[in-house]
Amino acid sequence: MEYIMDNIQILYGSDLEMKTDHGVWMKDGEIYNILPKKDYPDHVEYVDGEGKYLLPGLIDLHVHIMWDGLKDPVATLEEEGYEQMLIRAVSNCKNYVESGITTVRDIGSVDDIALHVAKGVKRGLVIGPNIIASGKTLTMTGGHDPFWARFVDGRDEALKGVREQIFKGAEVIKVSSTGGVYGRHEGESVGNAELSMEEQQVICNEAHKFGLKVASHAIGRQGIFNSIQAGVDTIEHGHYLDEELATMMEEKGTAWIPTLFVYQQIASLEEIPAYAKEKAVEIVERHEKAFKSFFDRNILIGAGSDAGSPCTPHTALLDELFMMYKFVPNIKEIIKTATINAGEILGRRVGKIQEGYKADFVLLGKNPLDDLKYLGEVEQVFIDGRLVY
C-alpha cells in the first residue's frame, strides 16, 4: 500500500514542529518520505487530508486490556471468568483505536490474555492497537497482584520466571517491587518493598540480553530505589520519588510512567472499594508533588493511564494527559509524553511523524497545540498506513 497524504498540517519530528507545505509518503506501513508538493512522484496516488492536523498515533504505556475499568475489575473477573474476559479484552481494542491510541503496553493480564490478543492483532484477526504485552508479572510469593503473577523467590526462580515470559512471547517484563493500592483487600502495603534488588537485577540482566525492557510497579521509596539500582527501564507510578531517587534515575536513564489519573480516581470516587480508596487518599498529594517537582528534570516521562483499573476506562489516556496538564501546563511537553517520549521509552520507531517511523497517526480537525482538548476530537486513525477508524 502506497500513497501520499496531501493537504495536511504535520506535527513533525521530535519537537512537533508544524510543517504545512509538505505531504507524507506512506509505503509498506512506514513513513517513507516527507516532501514538498513540487517533488511528488507521478506514480503515487494522493489522499486529501482536507487541511487537517496530522499527529503521531497516541501511545498508552500502562494498560490492563482485559479489565473492565469499572468500580472493581477483580470482582468482575471472579464473576465472569476467563472466556468473558478474553472477549472483553478483544472488544476493548476498539476503544483504544477510536481514541487515537495506536500502541498500548499491557503490563498485567490474567492467563496471558493480553499476549493472546496481541497475537490476534498481529495476525490481522482483530483490529486494534499494537499491543506490547508482558505475560505474567514477576512477583514475590504473596506480593502485589497475585492474580496475574508468576511468583518468584530468589535468583534462580527469578531467572526461570523471566525466561518463561520471554519463551511465551512477552515483549516487555513486568516486576512488582512494592505493594499496591488496588487488587487485594488485605496483605499489602505500598511502603513494603517486595522483590529484592538482587532478584530484580537477575530479571533485568536476562530481559536486556533478549532486548526486552523491564517495567517496575513501584510506589514506596525502598522499592523504587531497588528497581532503579537493579536497572529497570521504567518506574510505574513512583509516588515516593524524591530528590535522591530522581538524581539516580537521571544517572541510570530510568524513565517514569506516573499514572496520575487512576490514583486520583481511586482516591476521590465513592464507588471504589474502601480498602483501595483509603490507601490512595494517603498518597495522591505526594504523587502530584513528585510530578510537579521532577517533570523538568532529565527524566523521560511517558504517559500511562492504567486503563482497565477502577473507574479508569480504556480511553483514559486523554484523562491522564489532562491531569498532567493541570499540574504542568505545557501542552507540547504533555503531548510528547504520549508520542515522542513514549516511542523512545519503548525503544521502537513509533510515536513520531518522521521518515522511517511506523505509519501510525491520527487526523484531527483542530490543532492540539492550541488546546489539549482537541486531542479528543479524532477524525481518522491510521495504523501501518491503513485507515482503521
The binding site for Zn ion (CB under 5 A) comprises 306
d(CA 316, CA 330): 19
Give backbone dihedrals phi and psi of 203, rounded to 5 degrees, phi first: -65, -45
**Rounded to whole angstroms, how far apart are CA atoms 174 and 149?**
9
How far apart are CB 61 and Zn ion at their closest, in Å? 10
Q: What is the DSSP letter of 301?
A: B
Residue number, 171 or 306, with CB nearest to Zn ion: 306
Least Å distance, CB 244 to Zn ion, is 25
Cβ(246)–Cβ(258) below 8 Å:
no
Residue with Cβ nearer Zn ion (188 or 306): 306
Nearer to Zn ion, 55 or 323 (CB): 323
Task: Identify which of residues 317 and 378 has a Cβ nearer to Zn ion in the complex.
Answer: 317
Q: Which cell goes with 297?
A: 528534570
Ranked by CB distance to Zn ion, the top (closest) residue is 306
Nearer to Zn ion, 33 or 76 (CB): 76
Cβ–Cβ contacts within 10 Å for residue 157, how many?
A: 17
Question: Is the CB of 145 or the CB of 360 nearer to Zn ion?
Answer: 145
CB 66, min distance to Zn ion, A: 12
In whole angstroms, how close is the CB of 9 to Zn ion at the nearest point?
35
> At its nearest, how many Å lie between Zn ion and the CB of residue 386?
30
What is the nearest approach in angstroms of Zn ion to the Cβ of residue 236?
Answer: 7
Amino acid at residue number 127:
I
Torsion angle (degrees, nearest 10) of CA 147, 150, 152, 158? -150
> What is the spatial distance between Cα 158 and Cα 354, in angstroms, rounded to a whole number?
39
Determine contact, residues 174/227, Cβ cutoff 8 Å: no
- In angstroms, give the least distance from the CB of 182 to Zn ion: 9
Residue written as grid cell 514475590: 140
- 3-state DSSP call for residue 214? strand
Q: In the complex with Zn ion, which residue's Cβ is closer, 53 or 182?
A: 182
Taking the C-alpha atoms of residue 64 and residue 144, their distance in angstroms, rounded to an integer, is 15
Q: Are 365 and 52 in contact (CB under 8 A)?
A: yes
Distance of CA 67 to the CA centre of its chain: 15
